[in-house]
Each structure stands twice: as structure tokens, then as C-alpha cells.
Amino acid sequence: MRKLKLQVQMTVDGYMSGPNGEMDWMTFPWTDDIGAYIGALTAQIDTIVLGRKLAEGFIPHWAAGPDGEPKEAIDLMNNTPKVVISNSLAESPWDNTVVAGGDLAEIINKLKAQPGGDIIVYGGGTLVSNLIAAGLIDELHLFVNPTAIGAGLPVFANPGRNQQLSLVAATPFDCGIIALHFEPKRA
């Protein structure tokens, strides 16, 4: 069965964005070691899952071929099929993207049961919180930036219950970010 992997940038105090969606706290430029780590992580995936709000900025951003991003990253983001979780969109306005609505667990479990590589979810906040609360994420890759912002959208906004995790690896990078790789403890 395919795995659902979460990759999220966060602050040391647990936020994935500021109170108004700010992302100006993220550490840049990245160093080669973090690029290699993310390259290895994404080499195993063949589907990207996004929430509707994130998709509205994420998909057009990568489609524009942003300056400063490696061609491999641009190609990955544009060529990998995407699933946007939304109960308000009836169809996708974006290329290489389908919209899935309804029961979140049913949608994710159907994706996991399909043949292929792993699935990565980048967010947004509501989707991530709901996936965590439902116990649907198989690997959490938390990229902790050396910044505290004091308020914002927490990664674990509503875990639903205590979320017991096992640390698989902690990887520091030259740019100051630390990747924490966790897997949920399953009964």
C-alpha cells in the first residue's frame, strides 16, 4: 500500500504560517544538503495532495516556473499529478489536477490503495489538521525553521486525541533548518 507523507515547513513554536498566512519567517536560501534530502523524499512520490486554498496559490506559482527554483523542482511540481481536496470545487481549473470531495478518509484510503508510488501532502492548514486527526498520515516530515513567531496556524491545530509519534530521524541542515521525520505509533 502507498504511504501518505506530510512535508511541511514550520517554526520552532509549531506554526506553519503566521496569523494572516504569512510565510516570511521561512529560512532561505536553502543549502545543497536540504535540497538533496527533499530530492530523496520526493523521488518516491507520484501524487501530490493539496487543500483547495493552498492549491490556488501553489499550482499557479509552480506553473509560472518561478525564478530561483531548480528546474528539477519546477518539473516535479508541474508534472506530478495532483489531487485537490475540496467540497466547494466541482472540477479542476488546473492542468494535471483532479478535485476530490466527500469523506476525507475514504478519499485518502482510495488513493493509498491504488498502485503507484507514495503520496505527498503539502497542506494547507485545515487539510493537514484533518489528516492528522483522522490518523491518515504515515510519515511526518517536519522542517523546523530556526524562527519563533508566537502566533499563527499550528501544524497540530486539532489532533483529535494524543498523537503518539516515533522519531525516525532528525537531520540538521547547513541553512539552520532541522528535518524531523516521525511515524505515528499504531496500535
Give the total number of structural domains in the chain.
1
pTM for the structure as a whole: 0.94
Top pLDDT among 161 and 184 is at 184
CA angle, residues 159, 160, 162, in degrees to nearest 5: 70
Residues 24 and 141 sit within 8 Å (Cβ to Cβ): no
Question: Looking at the domain assignment, is residue 4 inside a domain?
Answer: no
Domain assignment of residue 147, given as a range? 11-184
Question: Looking at the domain assignment, is residue 2 inside a domain?
Answer: no
Sign of CA dihedral 63, 68, 143, 20: negative
Question: Looking at the domain assignment, is residue 169 inside a domain?
Answer: yes
pLDDT digits (tens, 9 = 90+) for 5-59: 999 999 999 999 999 989 999 999 999 999 999 999 999 999 999 999 999 999 9
pLDDT digits (tens, 9 = 90+) for 97-120: 999 999 999 999 999 999 999 999
CATH number for the domain spanning 170: value is 3.40.430.10
Question: Looking at the domain assignment, is residue 44 inside a domain?
Answer: yes
